[in-house]
Every structure is written in C-alpha cells, then in structure tokens.
A = this chain, B = another copy of it.
C-alpha cells in the first residue's frame, strides 16, 4: 500500500466516525451539491432558496474499505446527488468494480476543500478521484479512465467493432454537456434567483425544453428496440445523460406527454442494477426540498 493510499484511507476513516444526520438535512443539500460538484457559482441567495436555509452536515461514510479485486490503486471522493459524481459511480458498477475504496463527502463541512482533497485536486471540486498519486477530478475523464483500464470487463461502454456506432456514442456522450450548460447553468441556476423576471423565466424554460427535445427526438427516431441515447445498447452516453434526467425529475420536471420517450427511458433505466445501486443515498430517504422545475 503506497503512502498516498495510506493517507487517503486514514482520511476516509476519519469520515466514517461522523454521525449521520436527519433525512431533511441531507435532502436540503441538493442544490449546493450540484453547484460545488460542477464548480459553478450562483448569484447570492440562490442556494438558500432551494435548500431552505437548512444546510447541515451530510452523513459521511466510507462505504467500502477494500477493493473487490486486484485493481489499480484508486479512491473516489464523491457527493450524494451530484450528476458528475453519479456518472463515475455508474461507470464503476458497469465495469464490475463494486466495492472500490470511496468516501462520501459533505459539502456543508467543506470536505471538498480539505487539504487531503486539494492535494490531488487544486480546484477543490467533486468528484475527486485519486489514481496512485494523480488526481483525476474531471468526471468526463474518470469514466473514460475506467473504460480504458478495464476494457473487456463488465459492460463495453464504447463499441469496439463498429466505427459508426462508436462515433454515435462519442457524439452523444459529449453532446450531453449541452444539457449541463443550457438546462443547469442557464435555466436551473436562474430559477434559483430572487430577482428573476417572468419574461426571462419563460425564455430560459424554452431553452431547457428545446435542449431536452433533442434527446426525446433521438429516442423516438431510433429504430424499434434502440431505446438508449445512442442506439440499442447501454453506453457511455447513458452514463452521462441519465443522472441529469433523474436530477431534473427529482426537482419537479414532469416527463409527461411532451417527452414520452424520455419518460419511458427514465423509468426503465431507473431499474438498471448499476443505477439502482448508486442511486443518491439522500434521495431514498427524503423528498426534494424544492420542485423548481415544475415550471418547465
């Protein structure tokens, strides 16, 4: 065990000792977790709107002490409910890597700004992945890391035998960053604001709907049976896309008649083992503190 790994295990162990807090308090952190995890700032007061000024400690837990199998030396620090963190956890499960060393961090306690995490991640964001002595905090890179290192194990998240299908998966995987930009940064974060106007809300919710409609159309235009975001198999595109849809549903988005294919997709993938297993812990115990996306 390397010195760096020992330090990280000790760090994780300190987290284990903390007490769990109430489900209400966990629940209140949805907005804050997303913001910190993705490294964005929001106008003053926005966090408080969604969280109802009820920020308290998240339960902090080190879920797994040992790796399941011989594996590169890595450790994942994550926050509950953050789409960037969730995508890494789904990829790990799909690659058959249950039981990896990990630490659930409290944003409220600023554990993402702790010395231990800043040492591997100078930007202090979630997720933080330590690989040996290297910090890999970019979640879009972390999911590729596990696919590349564990190629041939578990789900093939990139098709290896069909260049055209590979192109489609790479297109959709990266295209989902538009959901982040348009739906999260441009719309959801605006809805947090105190001084929002009806006109601007209408404009931005239209941007949100237009973006989601791309994926609704991708699903509807595919041939029968091709019910994933990039065709007939679960792929890296779903690893990145699904957590956003689930986050939006939690915040009140209704996938009604406007998005029938996305609704079916959400309901079906919610039952997928890798997604069930990594479902944000605090979502299981309490409703969201806000239903801001009901306006969409």
Interface residues of A (CB under 8 A from B): 72, 122-123, 129, 131-138, 140-142, 144-145, 148-149, 158, 160, 163-168, 170-171, 173-175, 178, 214
- 3 smallest CB-CB distances across A and B, nearest first, come from A141-B170, A138-B174, A131-B167
In the assembled complex, which residues on chain B have CB atoms less than 8 Å from the CB atom of A132?
A: 163-164, 167
**A88 → chain B, closest Cβ, in Å?**
12
Q: List 8 A-B contacts (CB under 8 A).
A: A132-B167, A134-B165, A136-B167, A136-B168, A136-B170, A145-B163, A145-B170, A148-B158
In the assembled complex, which residues on chain B have CB atoms less than 8 Å from the CB atom of A137?
A: 171
In the assembled complex, which residues on chain B have CB atoms less than 8 Å from the CB atom of A138?
A: 170-171, 173-175
Q: Given contacts A129-B167, A136-B170, A141-B170, could you give 19 more A-B pairs where the C-beta distance is less than 8 Å?
A: A122-B214, A131-B164, A131-B167, A134-B165, A134-B168, A134-B171, A135-B171, A136-B168, A137-B171, A138-B170, A138-B174, A140-B174, A141-B167, A142-B170, A144-B144, A145-B163, A145-B166, A145-B170, A149-B163
Q: Of all chain B residues, which has the CB nearest A159? A: B148
In the assembled complex, which residues on chain B have CB atoms less than 8 Å from the CB atom of A141?
A: 167, 170-171, 173-174
In the assembled complex, which residues on chain B have CB atoms less than 8 Å from the CB atom of A129?
A: 167
| Residue in contact with A148 in the complex, picked from B133, B145, B149, B166, CB distance below 8 Å | B166
**A125 → chain B, closest Cβ, in Å?**
10
In the assembled complex, which residues on chain B have CB atoms less than 8 Å from the CB atom of A167?
A: 129, 131-132, 134, 136, 141, 145
* Cross-chain contact A72 with B131 (CB below 8 angstroms): no
**A171 → chain B, closest Cβ, in Å?**
5
Q: Of all chain B residues, which has the CB nearest A185? A: B181
**A138 → chain B, closest Cβ, in Å?**
4
Task: Provide the bound-state CA to CA distance between A2 and B175, in Å.
Answer: 26
Known: A170-B145, A174-B140. A164 touches B122 (CB 8 A): no
Q: Of all chain B residues, which has the CB nearest A142? A: B170
In the assembled complex, which residues on chain B have CB atoms less than 8 Å from the CB atom of A171?
A: 134-138, 141
Q: Of all chain B residues, which has the CB nearest A137? A: B171
Task: Provide the bound-state CA to CA distance between A174 and B141, in Å.
Answer: 6
* Cross-chain contact A164 with B214 (CB below 8 angstroms): no
Task: Provide the bound-state CA to CA distance between A144 and B131, in Å.
Answer: 21
In the assembled complex, which residues on chain B have CB atoms less than 8 Å from the CB atom of A136?
A: 167-168, 170-171
